[in-house]
């Protein structure tokens, strides 16, 4: 029809990339799929930035080409947009020393911020902090138990396991 083709929106690029990555409705092509996901991430699409962070942190590690600092950068870009997954993953990076120095205080603050958006894994991580004696908190097991019970009430399965370990 002669109309100029517009580049896909970042969300569409991201979801098409995911489909290509896992061969859902498209022929699996990791190279092309990651190019689409990276393009969406570079256009400030927060879910794509989280996926790129996960890719850099985990999948590259399997190839012995750790890109932990790049993972943190992608997570931070998503966190800067108030994306709860991005905020949570930045906290994980600080809590585990992934791509940055280990800093439990900073990790805790990121978990808290993600939790305020209803992010259940962040709340679970905060419960684990108390179980592990974060900042020498007295009664950490009781605080953790309360958090786990709140999560179990929301039917969050990973919290059920944590709660079972307490009994």
Q: From first to last of the 167 residues of the chain, give the pLDDT tens digit.
A: 455 655 569 999 998 888 887 777 666 677 788 889 999 999 999 999 999 998 888 765 555 456 888 899 999 999 999 999 999 999 999 999 988 999 999 999 999 999 999 999 999 999 998 888 876 666 788 899 999 999 999 999 999 999 898 88
Task: Give me the pLDDT at residue 62, please.
Answer: 55
Task: Give me the pLDDT at residue 64, please.
Answer: 46
Task: Give me the pLDDT at residue 122, please.
Answer: 97
Tokens of residue 8, six digits: 């896909």
Q: Which of 52, 108, 107, 119 is closest to 82 using CA atoms?
A: 119
Task: Give me the pLDDT at residue 85, please.
Answer: 96
Q: Which of 83, 79, 111 is closest to 95 using CA atoms?
A: 111
Q: Which residue has the tokens 């108390």?
A: 130
Characterise 166 by phi-psi region: left (phi > 0), alpha (psi -120 to 50), beta (else): alpha
Are 61 and 88 contacting, i.e. CB atoms less than 8 angstroms apart?
no
d(CA 75, CA 12): 20
DSSP 59: I
Q: Which residue has the tokens 């009430």?
A: 153
């Amino acid at each position: 029809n002669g109309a100029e083709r517009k580049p896909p929106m970042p969300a569409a690029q991201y979801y098409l990339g995911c489909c290509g990555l896992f061969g859902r409705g498209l022929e699996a092509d990791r190279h092309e799929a990651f190019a689409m996901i990276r393009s969406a991430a570079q256009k400030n699409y927060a879910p794509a930035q989280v996926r790129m962070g996960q890719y850099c942190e985990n999948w590259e590690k399997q190839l012995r080409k750790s890109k932990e600092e790049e993972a943190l950068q992608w997570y931070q870009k998503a966190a800067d947009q108030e994306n709860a997954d991005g905020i949570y993953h930045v906290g994980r990076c600080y809590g585990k020393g992934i791509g940055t120095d280990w800093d439990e205080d900073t990790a805790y603050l990121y978990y808290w911020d993600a939790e305020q958006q209803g992010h259940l894994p962040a709340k679970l991580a905060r419960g684990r902090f108390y179980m592990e004696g974060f900042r020498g908190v007295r009664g950490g097991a009781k605080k953790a138990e309360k958090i786990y019970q709140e999560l179990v009430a929301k039917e969050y399965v990973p919290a059920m396991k944590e709660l079972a370990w307490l009994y």
